[in-house]
Chain A
């Protein structure tokens, strides 16, 4: 078994209506690039990015889901394992914002109780087409006690900040490990999570 190259593994999930830009948000974060012509995500996709926070190497395993209702049976099974969920809407699409409460209910039903949630209003570079006011996004986030950012995958606004903030929030909840514990061998790929208690 190779020595692991990270201290903690955080599993994140991106959800939201189709076409709001989930794949673009993820692509911007993982590859620092933007592509206007992404094919629609079918089922579930996966990306990895390692970041450093508070001197710890954190591997982010990010699952990107298909937005359409049809895929919910496939995608909701991933909610359970997620430590952070990013809920994305499109500021130029009112419907995608109206559906936020539906997505939040989905999280309540299928995710861990202590999952970190975050709301993103994407495509904030398209001010001329905006139909969802920033204050509206802030309001719904406040009501649910979750963080909120307006982002643009295209103009690279707040993307990295959003992911790092989510990772920090998860890290804050993660029990502090003993020094040197990063050398602990892991037995299987899916075995290590940030929730592991220090007393075993």
Chain B
């Protein structure tokens, strides 16, 4: 560890040791990158995302309260409907009881259960394909959700719930003897897409399943927005950071803490996810236009080139802004960039400047390239962030926002 880095860590620790944390000072320090040592980043993100207040005395009671609240959400939204379902498989219930799976009443709990499964199916597809290049999300967590995974209770996990939702068709063949033959695909030992990843033994769950649960609870609590593709890419880096926290007590509660930090972050960026706001003042179209209007101010030649080639910000800036650049870089770089984004007082103005800088940094190639080459450069999904390594590692130690441009 360089002495400079040691000094930085000491600076962070000094700021974080204050009984009442100086938020302006913490923002300024965090903007140039937060050291990952001693769980500093986890703590700073929790403060910057307004999960923890600046007064330290409240931290432990607040976290306990929030973690309990999250357990409550799990009980209400995952376990209780799961019990009903699990019971059905175990013993035959009297379906004349007030609620049953064929109940046509829209308020029926079963009806809600089936509707939830549609959202869950979508979440499941995306949670499984979160950071496929990294082994982390496929690995079992050290802290599987005890409430759900306790083998004595036999609760239904979300993963199992999804597997049951996708019913398989059965081929019914009647032979000449009149015997009906139902060939169940369940019997054939064919590999399926759902088992692309090695299934984990009972009682353990992979990190992606934790992410899935966080997204499902969020969707249940926010039915107006529910789940929009890309939210998984917002949860991913936060969860990864918290679930690798050297502080074991905090690491154990990564799920609940991630949920609340994600919820707070979404409160600030949710407009980007809402289709009906696309063309409003606060929608993403307006923000994409701002990337181009800023570019026009800073580099009119490049701006005109992109205009002339009819390369619209929708082609690339949509993803950059909506996902806070999380698909453009490898995870460690994303996390480093998010230090600065979260430290930005006028969230997320800095993101617009970074997006603009990302264009200007490859201006030479863009000015020479044709439409196809430039689209490849800008979408760069084969090698995320490949052009920008220089940019990340050369962030000045204490930049003001505009010195980057």
Contacts and interface: CB of A to CB of B under 8 A. Distances in A.
A42 to B, nearest CB: 5
Contacts of A38: 129, 132
Given A18-B122, A70-B275, A126-B193, A42 B309 contact: no
Interface string A102-138: 0000000000000000000001001011110000000
Contact of B278 (A74, A92, A130): A74
A48 B372 contact: yes
Nearest to A90: B193
Contact of B129 (A39, A129, A188): A39
Contacts of B129: 37-40
B125 A189 contact: no
Interface stretch (B54-62, B152-160, B224-232, B241-249): B224-232
B273 A129 contact: no
Contacts of A43: 314-315, 318-319, 322
B67 to A, nearest CB: 30
Contact of B232 (A40, A46, A74, A126): A40
Contact of B229 (A61, A68, A93, A123): A68
Contact of B190 (A40, A48, A128): A128
A73 B318 contact: no
A39 B131 CA distance: 7
Interface in B25-63: none
B309 A188 contact: yes
Looking at A61, A68, A74, A77, which has the most chain B CB atoms within 10 Å of its CB? A74
Give the bracket for the number of chain B residues in contact with chain A: 35 or more
B308 interface: yes
A169 B54 CA distance: 65
Contacts of B274: 70
Majority SS of interface residues in chain B? loop
A115 B237 CA distance: 41
B348 interface: no
Contacts of B122: 18-19, 68
Contacts of B176: none
Contacts of B185: 128-129
Contact of A46 (B233, B315, B318): B315
A129 B275 contact: no
Contacts of A18: 122, 125, 229
A145 interface: no
A70 B228 contact: yes
Nearest to B277: A73
B115 interface: no
A188 B311 CA distance: 12
A137 to B, nearest CB: 14
Contacts of A188: 308-310
B252 interface: no
Nearest to A61: B372
A120 B88 CA distance: 38
Select the residue from B228, B229, B309, B381 with max chain A CB neighbours within 10 A.
Answer: B229
A124 B190 CA distance: 14
Contacts of B196: 36-37
Contacts of A189: 309-310, 370-372
Contact of B379 (A46, A68, A77): A46
A123 to B, nearest CB: 8
Interface string B174-215: 000000000001001010110010000000000000000000
B228 A190 contact: no
Nearest to B232: A40
25 contacts: A2-B370, A18-B125, A18-B229, A37-B129, A38-B129, A38-B132, A39-B130, A42-B229, A42-B230, A42-B318, A42-B322, A43-B315, A67-B229, A70-B228, A70-B274, A70-B275, A72-B275, A77-B314, A128-B190, A128-B192, A129-B193, A130-B169, A188-B309, A188-B310, A189-B309
A39 B132 contact: yes
Contacts of B372: 48, 61, 189
B92 interface: no
Contacts of A71: 229, 275
Given A44-B314, A189-B309, A36 B230 contact: no
